[in-house]
Structure 1
Amino acid sequence: MDSKRTLSRVMEAPMAMEGEGVPIRRAFPSHEFSQLDPFLLFDHFGGVVLKPGEAKGFPDHPHRGFETVTYMLSGEFEHRDSFGHHGVLTGGDVQWMTAGSGLVHSETPARSMVENGGRLEGFQIWVNLPARDKMKAPRYQELSGAHIPTARSADGLVEVKVIAGSALGVKGGVETHIPIEYLHIRLQAGATFTQALPATLNAMAYVFEGAVSVEARKVPQFHVGEIATNGDSVTFTASEPAELLLLAAQPIKEPVARYGPFVMNTAAELQQAFDDYRQGKMGTISFAH
């Protein structure tokens, strides 16, 4: 018998600054909400129109032991890393980076963005890796916005971009180490959308336009709703146009040793990550073309 999942809590994502001065709303980690296994961090960055010269980014920094997932709504971000990978993410694009054994990378506004300004907005989440995958070689999966599978409801009131997982019979294009759902859901006024979501998956919804309700409990704009594990589906309703991200995944249920840009299982592994970085074992970024 189908049973609906409810919300266990609703919290605002407070404003903060990251990198060289990029405005963000951080849903977690926070004092109230440390993580949602396997999700370690959720940032909604930008959401602002920048004047020429105002665009800022995230200079060279290392990662090991997890994945970073960047989803651009608007603007252009340039990416470089210590393995020689270089690319530009534009509105609608997704980069799913498995840091694995470690790398150094930078995320900075593209030159056109710095020179001309414009709207910058997107999301970055961190996804933990199981112990067995933490030291795998780094890997990228990059999807252009035009190639992200999109599903639509029969009544035309719901559109879902399926980054990972599946919705309305459409499958996402990203391979994941554990079962993950990453959906960008657009609801028109009066829309209702139900997503199958087994109780074994941890899940959350972040609303960035309008507001939605889950079993009569409202999630306003810029709020995150943690979805209780008390059913096997979740239903969103909207009385106004709304957009949200739905994240769900199988929890890893392993110890987390975390500090700064490294996420391992033990303090010793964490120390080793810092030692390897200081000794240059994660490489450096070359800006030669």
Structure 2
Amino acid sequence: MKKKSSFSTQGQRADIGDLIIYRMLPNRYADAVGPFVFLDHVAPAVQTKVNKEGTGAHPHRGIATLTYVLHGEDEHFDSAGNYAKVHSGGVQWMNAGNGIIHDETLNHDSVTDSRLVHAFQFWVNLPSTVKAEKPAYLAIEGNEVPYKDLPDRRGWIKVIAGSFEELSSAVPTYSEQFLYHIHLEPGVSFVIDFAGKLEVAAFLPVLPASINDEHFNAGDFIEFGREDGSLELRNDNTEGCDFLVFGGEPYTEPIVAEGPFVMNAELEIAHAYRDFYNGKYGKIDYEKQRAGK
């Protein structure tokens, strides 16, 4: 049985500097898909000048940030002393836990010297018990992301979070959740099954495509019904097409979000701001972290 779409929508512009960004989640129809409460799409663009400012140092609490870099080089700093660069195909994951300050800078890939920049950032809502833990961090280069070719040269699948068949991502998860990047060659289709307990969404970052015999436009964010069923992804274009498919178990605790914090009660939001303004999240030492000391 094929899942039916519940809605489709386009993102709202939320640019940072020269980066063209579309905010896909939350949107006017949904605040979350499984544990995912936020999705920014950094639209593909040829970079003409280096981005020196990044996103700027800012706090988080109660979530994990997950940045997936299709093209480019993402440099990460945080107040727990973590520093890394990942390149095209790589993933940065940071559990903000009970409070952290971080900064990211997205530029062209210095390894391949390609000027194309294209990325996604998700926020994953954490269970209340994990929100109280110390922050954690993980950097995964593109060649370490689980990957497999689909049968009959139809394309490939990358598992950014969760698991698919024998593939399992190193990104920690605290509930059943998944994030897949699926690439299909022209004129082919691929079917993937989901249990009814899972919330499921798809996003078409570059090209239009068909999902369960329904046509969607490039830039569409689509959520599907909660019944057991499958998604049949079909590429009707004359070139390869990419799909992001993600979701997971519904988040069953209360959700209170304000600014960079996602907690379970209004009082916890107040405490998050209080601790930030009292300096409890620490500071980023850019020079020391770049030097690897």
Same fold (TM over 0.5): yes
Q: Which residue number in structure 2 is paired with residue 10 of structure 1?
A: 8
Q: Which residue number in structure 2 is paired with residue 121 of structure 1?
A: 118
List aligned pairs for 1:101-116, cutoff 5 A.
101-109=98-106
Aligned counterpart for 2:135 among listed residues 138, 159, 162: 138
Q: Which residue number in structure 2 is paired with residue 58 of structure 1?
A: 55
Richer in strand (by share): 1
Q: Which residue number in structure 1 is paired with residue 262 of structure 2?
A: 263
Residue 226 of structure 1 and its aligned partner are, at CA, apart by 0.4
Residue 173 of structure 1 and its aligned partner are, at CA, apart by 2.8
How many Å separate the matches in 2 of 1:259 and 1:107? 21
1:276–1:249 Cα change, 3 Å: same
Unaligned stretches of 5+ residues in structure 1: none
1:168–1:191 Cα change, 3 Å: farther
Q: Which residue number in structure 1 is paired with residue 157 of structure 2?
A: 160
Q: Which residue number in structure 2 is paired with residue 210 of structure 1?
A: 207
Q: Which residue number in structure 2 is paired with residue 69 of structure 1?
A: 66
Q: Which residue number in structure 2 is paired with residue 251 of structure 1?
A: 250
Aligned 8 A contact 2:51 2:105 in 1: no
1:178 aligns with 2:172: no
Aligned counterpart for 2:232 among listed residues 223, 227, 235: 235
Residue 229 of structure 1 and its aligned partner are, at CA, apart by 1.2
How many Å separate the matches in 2 of 1:125 and 1:8? 21
Count of matched residue pairs: 284
How many Å separate the matches in 2 of 1:86 and 1:265? 29
How many Å separate the matches in 1 of 2:195 and 2:72? 35
Q: Please tell me the residue identity of whatever aligns with 1:128.
A: N
Aligned 8 A contact 1:151 1:167 in 2: no
Q: Please tell me the residue identity of whatever aligns with 1:16.
A: A
1:83 aligns with 2:80: yes
How many Å separate the matches in 1 of 2:13 and 2:243? 18
- More divergent stretch after superposition (121-130 vs 39-48): 39-48
Q: Which residue number in structure 2 is paired with residue 278 of structure 1?
A: 277
- Percent of paired sites with the same residue: 31
How many Å separate the matches in 1 of 2:11 and 2:265? 29
Aligned 8 A contact 1:67 1:99 in 2: yes
- Equivalent residue of 1:263, what SS? strand
1:151 aligns with 2:154: no
Residue 207 of structure 1 and its aligned partner are, at CA, apart by 0.6
- Equivalent residue of 1:35, what SS? coil
Aligned 8 A contact 2:35 2:247 in 1: no
How many Å separate the matches in 2 of 1:110 and 1:79? 12
How many Å separate the matches in 2 of 1:112 and 1:48? 13
Residue 181 of structure 1 and its aligned partner are, at CA, apart by 1.0
**TM-score of the two chains, using structure 2 as the length reference:** 0.90
Q: Please tell me the residue identity of whatever aligns with 2:179.
A: Y
How many Å separate the matches in 1 of 2:276 and 2:162? 34
Residue 55 of structure 1 and its aligned partner are, at CA, apart by 6.0
How many Å separate the matches in 1 of 2:59 and 2:128? 19
Aligned counterpart for 2:223 among listed residues 222, 226, 231: 226
1:23 aligns with 2:20: yes
How many Å separate the matches in 2 of 1:264 and 1:95? 22
1:51–1:204 Cα change, 3 Å: same
Q: RMSD of aligned C-alpha atoms?
A: 2.0
1:53-98 residue CA offsets vs partner (Å, 9 max, x unmatched): 4565200000000110000011112111111111112111001211
Q: Which residue number in structure 2 is paired with residue 49 of structure 1?
A: 46
How many Å separate the matches in 2 of 1:104 and 1:267? 21
1:193 aligns with 2:190: yes
1:224–1:278 Cα change, 3 Å: same
How many Å separate the matches in 2 of 1:54 and 1:98? 25
1:86-131 residue CA offsets vs partner (Å, 9 max, x unmatched): 1112111001211111100111246987xx9922110000010111
Q: Please tell me the residue identity of whatever aligns with 2:66.
A: V
How many Å separate the matches in 2 of 1:54 and 1:80? 15
Q: Please tell me the residue identity of whatever aligns with 1:143.
A: I
Residue 35 of structure 1 and its aligned partner are, at CA, apart by 2.6
How many Å separate the matches in 2 of 1:209 and 1:168? 27
- Equivalent residue of 1:218, what SS? strand
- More divergent stretch after superposition (35-44 vs 119-128): 35-44
Aligned 8 A contact 1:54 1:117 in 2: no
Aligned 8 A contact 1:162 1:170 in 2: yes
